Amino acid sequence: MSSTKGPRQPSRRDFIRAAGASAGAGAVLAGGFGFDLGFSPAFAAEMAKETARSEKPLRAAFSNAGLQATWCAQGKRAAEWWGKLLNVEITWFDGELSATKQRAAIDNMASQKWDFVAIQAFGIGTLTAPVNKMIDAGIPVLDMDTLIAPLEQIKVHSFLAPDNEFMGASVTQALLDEIGGAGTIIMTQGALGHTGAQGRARGFESVVKKFPKVEVLDTTPADWDVTKAVRIWETHLTKYPKIDAAFFHNDDMALAAWNVMKARGRTDIKIGGVDAMPPAIQAVSEGRMHATVRNPSCRIHGGAVLAGVAAVVNGEKSGEGIPKHIITDGPVVTKANAPGMQWMQDHYLI
């Protein structure tokens, strides 16, 4: 009996896997679909070179601040997705939003052999010794989002990070413009030892100082922890009868605090965050958040995979083939660009 259904259409993943297939075939067949992309063998060989896919599986170790944070969890998914494309087996060492726990995890990482590693430190200076051990063993180490140590003090292969001062300043500017450049604002910080949080705070301060009619009521850190953010904001809403705006160092804390505001009938407070994760993009579209800015988790984590493979397979040198510091900025998210931003995230591109 013949089926009335046509053949299943190739998915995006099938297409990309097909694009990275053997250079010896003039037509690319993906998962038995048999669709001809029209690539010549020479073109396929050049594509394989550009994507730097390893012929043998590479072993990589990754760690970020803590998978409780949605930004970190998305980064893990992005790294694993790009790892599959480039033939990299990734082992994850969760930082658990704790400098002590992450240090124990990285000590464990440093006791093993890897083709390359990538780390987002929970706090600057907390991982220097085990990271130096890996560097001394000849393992390329990619630093993601926040400094493991100042770049002049540690020989990481490259540092992939956004301009945190830009992110802090751009969201703060949007908030202060919305409240007419006068009133009260609170900044809820991430972990004080996190260089990304430090940059966001500098960005915030650089804008606030231009507005003499704006009063900063509080800058207590919540360490990226939504439970802490809720507790802090329950106190804020009791203590301060008038809060015009609030800047949060990430969206998770912003949305957790918004739930407290809603419960207290204080949704007139204009809030802004950082990361532009899907719930925040939706919140901006719906008006619950005024602004967020994309800290491109997919670009940072996926870029670390690409950089590690290029270092191992192509012999790309730090400071020569790859810059010592790569800026990975994303845009401020508005209602106009929110749908496209979501699509880019869904495909691990930003």
Q: Where are the beta strands (DSSP E) in 131-221?
A: 141-144, 158-161, 183-188, 214-218
pLDDT digits over 187-213, tens only?
Answer: 999 999 999 999 999 999 999 999 999
The percent of residues above 90 in pLDDT, for the chain, comes to: 82
Give the number of other Cβ atoms within 10 Å of residue 57's Cβ.
12
CA 158 from chain centre, in angstroms, equals 16
| Gyration radius (Cα) of the chain, Å | 22
Q: Write out the H or E segment, with its range, that includes residue 256.
A: helix 251-263
Instruction: Give the residue among 141, 183, 165, 181 at the shortest CA–CA distance from 269.
Output: 183
Instruction: Please tell me the distance from the alpha carbon of residue 196 to that of residue 94, in angstroms, as a whole number.
Output: 18
Contact (Cβ atoms closer than 8 angstroms) between residue 232 and residue 188: yes
Which pLDDT band holds residue 324 (cuts at 50, 70, 90)? very high
| Whole-structure pTM value | 0.80
pLDDT digits over 87-121, tens only?
Answer: 999 999 999 999 999 999 999 999 999 999 999 99
Q: Provide the pLDDT for residue 47.
A: 42
Which pLDDT band holds residue 42 (cuts at 50, 70, 90)? low
Give the number of other Cβ atoms within 10 Å of residue 343's Cβ.
11
Which pLDDT band holds residue 12 (cuts at 50, 70, 90)? very low
127-134 contact pairs (CB < 8 A, 24+): 127/102, 127/103, 128/153, 128/154, 130/103, 130/106, 131/106, 131/156, 134/109, 134/110
Residues recorded for the chain: 350
3-state secondary structure of 191: coil
Q: Provide the pLDDT for residue 208.
A: 98
29-45 burial: b if 16+ Cβ within 10 Å, else e: ebeeeebeeebeeeebe
pLDDT digits over 253-305, tens only?
Answer: 999 999 999 999 999 999 999 999 999 999 999 999 999 999 999 999 999 99
Q: Provide the pLDDT for residue 5.
A: 40
Q: Provide the pLDDT for residue 52.
A: 65
Average pLDDT score over residue span 200-229: 98
Instruction: Give the residue among 309, 297, 296 at the shortest CA–CA distance from 85.
Output: 309
Instruction: Please tell me the distance from the alpha carbon of residue 205 to that of residue 74, in angstroms, as a whole number.
Output: 29
Instruction: Give the residue among 264, 261, 265, 263 at the shortest CA–CA distance from 289.
Output: 261
Instruction: Please tell me the distance from the alpha carbon of residue 313 to that of residue 308, in angstroms, as a whole number.
Output: 8
CA terminus-to-terminus distance, the chain: 46
